[in-house]
Amino acid sequence: LDNVGEDIELEVAGMYATRLSFKEGLVADLFKSIATAEFDQASPEDVRKEVIEFLKLQSL
């Protein structure tokens, strides 16, 4: 929310992910990718592709 991905925010996201039956490690990676997209100069399309890939991995 403050444009800074802090450990507590990542932990909370992981807790929600677990409760929703997502794999916590994958959610953490996705969260980091989204949070650093601007810094990494990732295009919205790149972020979208990563989200789609995440959802595919979750359906395994």
The DSSP letter of residue 3 is S
The single-letter code of the amino acid at 35 is: A
Report pLDDT for 45.
92
Residue 58 predicted with pLDDT over 80: no
Residue 50 predicted with pLDDT over 80: yes
pLDDT digits (tens, 9 = 90+) for 28-42: 778 777 878 888 888
Q: What is the pTM of this model?
A: 0.55
Report pLDDT for 1.
47
What number of other Cβ atoms are within 10 A of residue 39's Cβ? 7
Report pLDDT for 29.
78
